[in-house]
Chains A and B, each alone.
Chain A
Amino acid sequence: MNQKILLSGNEAVAQGARAAGVGFASAYPGTPSTEILENIAKLPDIHAQWSPNEKVAFEVGIGASLGGARTIVCMKHVGVNVAADPLMTLAYTGIKGGFVLVSADDPEMHSSQNEQDNRTYAKFAKIPMLEPSDSQECYDFMGEALEISERFDTPVLLRMTTRISHSMTAVNIKEWQAVEVTGFEKDIDKYVMMPNFARPRHQVILKRLERLQKFSEETSLNRIEWGDKKIGVISSGVSYQHAREAFPEASFFKLGFSYPMPLKKIAGFTDKVEKLIVVEELEPFIEDALKNVGIPCEGKKYFPIYGELNPSLAEKGFMEAGFLTAIPDDGAEPVEVLPRPPVLCPGCSHRSVFYALKRMGAHVFGDIGCYTMAALPPLEALHACVCMGASIGMATGISQVQGSKRPVFAVIGDSTFLHSGITGVLDAVYNKANVTILILDNRITAMTGGQQHPATGKTLMGEDTKAVDFVALTKALGVEYVEEFDPYDYPKTQEILKSATKREGVKILITTRPCMLFPGKIKDESYRILAADCNGCGVCFKIGCPAISKSGDVTDKNLAVPVIDETLCTGCDLCAEICPVDCIFPVSELQKGEEVTS
Chain B
Amino acid sequence: MSKSKATNQTMNVLIVGVGGQGVLLASQILSDVNLQVGNDVKKSEVHGMAQRGGVVSSHIRFGKKVYSPLIPNRQADVILAFERAEALRWVHELKPGGYMVVNDQIIMPPIAVDPKYVYPDGAIDELKRKVENLNVIDAAGISEELGNPRLANTVLLGALSNALDIDESLWKEVISRRVPKATIDLNLKAFDRGRGR
Q: Report A's interface with B, CB cutoff 8 A.
A: 4-6, 31-32, 35, 110-111, 134, 162-163, 166-170, 228, 238, 241-242, 244-249, 310-312, 315, 319, 322-327, 329-335, 337-345, 370, 373, 377-378, 447-449, 538, 541, 544-546, 548-550, 560, 562
B72 at the interface (CB under 8 A from A): yes
Question: Which residue of the partner chain A has the closest CB to B115?
Answer: A560
For A324, list chain B residues within 8 Å (CB).
Answer: 1-4
For A343, list chain B residues within 8 Å (CB).
Answer: 52-54, 110
- Min CB distance, B90 to chain A, in Å? 9
- Min CB distance, B139 to chain A, in Å? 16
- Considering only residues 60-86 of chain B, those with a C-beta below 8 Å from chain A are 66-74, 85-86
**In-complex Cβ contact of A323 among B2, B69, B91 (8 A):** B2
- Min CB distance, A14 to chain B, in Å? 15
> Once the chains bind, are A166 and B44 in contact (CB under 8 Å)?
yes
**In-complex Cβ contact of B72 among A5, A245, A337 (8 A):** A245
For B71, list chain A residues within 8 Å (CB).
Answer: 311
**In-complex Cβ contact of A169 among B55, B69, B74, B119 (8 A):** B69
Q: Knowing A245-B67, A315-B72, A332-B130 touch, does A342 contact B113 (C-beta < 8 A)?
A: no
For A345, list chain B residues within 8 Å (CB).
Answer: 52-53
Stretch of B35-43, B152-160, B186-194 with 4 or more beta carbons under 8 angstroms from chain A: B35-43
A463 and B51 CA atoms in complex are apart in Å by 28
Binary CB contact string for chain B from 7 to 50 against chain A (1 if under 8 A, 0 otherwise): 01000000000110000000000011001000011111111111
- Min CB distance, B116 to chain A, in Å? 9
A377 and B113 CA atoms in complex are apart in Å by 11
> Once the chains bind, are B2 and A228 in contact (CB under 8 Å)?
yes
> Once the chains bind, are B113 and A550 in contact (CB under 8 Å)?
yes
> Once the chains bind, are B110 and A329 in contact (CB under 8 Å)?
no
Question: Which residue of the partner chain A has the closest CB to B56?
Answer: A340
For A344, list chain B residues within 8 Å (CB).
Answer: 52
A340 and B55 CA atoms in complex are apart in Å by 6
Q: A5-B35, A550-B108 are in contact. List 8 more A-B contacts (CB 8 A).
A: A110-B46, A110-B50, A111-B48, A163-B44, A166-B46, A247-B2, A337-B86, A377-B111
Categorize the interface residue count of chain B: 35 or more
Q: Report B's interface with A, CB cutoff 8 A.
A: 1-6, 8, 18-19, 31-32, 35, 40-55, 66-74, 85-86, 88-89, 91-92, 94, 96, 108-114, 117-120, 126, 130
> Once the chains bind, are A111 and B4 in contact (CB under 8 Å)?
no
**In-complex Cβ contact of A170 among B4, B8, B19, B35 (8 A):** B35
> Once the chains bind, are B67 and A548 in contact (CB under 8 Å)?
no
For B110, list chain A residues within 8 Å (CB).
Answer: 343, 544-546, 548-549
> Once the chains bind, are A341 and B46 in contact (CB under 8 Å)?
no
> Once the chains bind, are B42 and A167 in contact (CB under 8 Å)?
yes
Which label, helix, strand, loop or mixed, suits the secondary structure of the A interface?
Answer: loop
Q: Knowing A169-B42, A334-B92, A342-B54 touch, does A310 contact B70 (C-beta < 8 A)?
A: yes
**In-complex Cβ contact of A310 among B3, B68, B86 (8 A):** B68
**In-complex Cβ contact of B47 among A31, A245, A341, A562 (8 A):** A31
A249 and B46 CA atoms in complex are apart in Å by 30
> Once the chains bind, are B68 and A245 in contact (CB under 8 Å)?
yes
> Once the chains bind, are B70 and A242 in contact (CB under 8 Å)?
yes
> Once the chains bind, are B96 and A330 in contact (CB under 8 Å)?
yes
For B72, list chain A residues within 8 Å (CB).
Answer: 245-246, 310-312, 315
Question: Which residue of the partner chain B has the closest CB to A372?
Answer: B49
- Min CB distance, A26 to chain B, in Å? 21
For A168, list chain B residues within 8 Å (CB).
Answer: 31, 41-44
A17 and B129 CA atoms in complex are apart in Å by 52
Q: Knowing A312-B73, A315-B4, A327-B4 touch, does A342 contact B47 (C-beta < 8 A)?
A: no
- Min CB distance, B161 to chain A, in Å? 19
Nearest 6 pairs of A and B residues by beta carbon: A111-B48, A31-B48, A245-B68, A541-B113, A167-B69, A342-B52
For B66, list chain A residues within 8 Å (CB).
Answer: 169
A228 and B117 CA atoms in complex are apart in Å by 51
Question: Which residue of the partner chain B has the closest CB to A333?
Answer: B92
